Structure formats: structure tokens, C-alpha cells
Copies of this chain bind each other. A is one copy, B any other.
């Protein structure tokens, strides 16, 4: 890779992958604490909230990667990487809140949505700008 490689996007992606591993570990620890043996996924409310919090992060993760890289490659790498760090923080707030109570998942959830909307919009702007540039370049 050259010196213009997307180091920041790669670093944030790897950091978010580590977070996914950490959250999976938290589910494993919750299994032990509440004696919920695999393959069961039902048990005391706190275990079920921990399990669902992780599942929600699993659902969000590929969507996050797509918006992070689209924004980073077609709009601005630094902006995308900042959004990516915010996403990681948002997911941690969401997870820790959800473990405590169903209601406490909401602040982290809204912050997650805000990051998604921002990264997607900037990504779309970057793509449209790139396509416009490509065709004006071809025609002139």
C-alpha cells in the first residue's frame, strides 16, 4: 500500500472489530453469571437484554462498515473516521445502557442512528459528486 492508503478507515474498522469481540465476550460472561448454558438464549431479564444488545450490534455492524467506507472513500477519510469513532462510542453507550434496562438503550440508539444518517448522506454526496465529475470529464 502507498502512503495515500486509507490507514484511518482501516484502523477504525479494526477497532470496531475488536469491540464486536469484546461485546461477544460480555455475552459469554453473562451466560456464566446467570448460568444460561448454550445453545439456550433465554434466561433472566438481564441476560436477555445483554444478548439482545449484542444481537443488535451484530445487525448494525455490516451497515456501519458500508457507510464508513463509502463516506471515507468518496467524501472525506478524516470525517468518516471521526464518525466511526463516534459509532463505537454510541454502541458502547447503547450496550451498557441496555444491560441495565430496556429504556437505557435509547440514548446510544439515537446516537447510532445519527451517525448512520450522517455517514450515509455524506457518502451519497461524495458518490454523486464523483459521478458528475466523471461524466463532465468524459464529455469535455
Contact = CB atoms under 8 A, between A and B. Distances in A.
A73 B11 CA distance: 12
B49 A1 contact: no
A16 B65 CA distance: 12
Contact of A14 (B59, B61, B124, B130): B124
- The number of times this chain is found in the oligomer is 3
Interface string A35-52: 001111100010011011
Nearest to A38: B102
> Which secondary structure dominates chain A's binding surface?
helix
A123 interface: yes
Nearest to A37: B102
Given A11-B127, A58-B59, 7 more contacts: A10-B123, A10-B127, A14-B124, A14-B127, A20-B63, A38-B102, A62-B65
Interface of A: 1, 3, 5, 7, 10-11, 13-14, 16-18, 20-21, 24, 37-41, 45, 48-49, 51-54, 58-59, 61-63, 65-67, 70, 73-74, 98, 102, 105, 116, 120, 123-124, 127, 130-131, 133-134, 137-138
